[in-house]
Amino acid sequence: MRIHLATDHAGLDFLRDIADFLIQAGHEVVDHGPTDYDALDDYPGFCIRAGRGVVADLEAGVEALGVVFGGSGNGEQIAANKVPGVRAALVWNRDTAVLAKEHNNANVCAIGARQHSIDDAMLLIETFINTPFPGDERHVRRITQISHFEKTGEVPETGVNYPS
C-alpha cells in the first residue's frame, strides 16, 4: 500500500521513525515534508499535499492512505480534510483508529506527535491501516452524503442515499 506522510516541525522526528516502520512493513512511503526542522514552518501545505496524493492515488486505483502528524494532530486533520475526497480522522487510541475505518472509511489518520510515544503511534497506524471498511449500508449512506455535499454544496437530507 502507498502511504502518504506529512507533518510540521513538531512531528518531524516522529515522521522519520514512522516512515522507517512503514517501509519495513512493506509499504511504499511518500513523504510530503517537511525535510528540515524549522520551528516556524506551517503544516497546511504539507498536509494538503498528502491529502491530494491520497485522493489522486485512490482515483487512479492505487491502494493508498495518509498519515499526518503535528503537536496535537488537530490542525493537520483540519488541513487534510480541506481536500475534496479526504476523510481524515484524529486517532488517539485503538478504538478511534478502528472506528475511523469501520464507520467513516477514513483515508487519512491524524496523530498528535506530542501526545503519544512512537510505539503507541505505530500501533495506532498499524491498526488504522489493517482495519477494513465493512461497507455497512448506513455508513456508506453517510459517506456518500458527505461526498454529495462536497460536490454540490447542498446539505444532504437524512436517510437519503445519494449517488457516489
Tell me how far CA of residue 109 lies from CA of 152, 156, 164, in angstroms.
25, 25, 22
Active site residue 126: no
Active site residue 76: yes
Tell me how far CA of residue 40 lies from CA of 5, 10, 43, 140, in angstroms.
19, 10, 10, 40
Query: Can you tell me the distance from the alpha carbon of 144 to that of 146, in angstroms, rounded to the nearest whole number?
Result: 5
> What φ, ψ does residue 4 adopt, rounded to 5°?
-95, 130
Which of 4, 76, 116, 148 is an active site residue? Answer: 76
Which of 103, 126, 139, 148 is an active site residue? Answer: 103
Name the residues annotated as catalytic. 76, 103
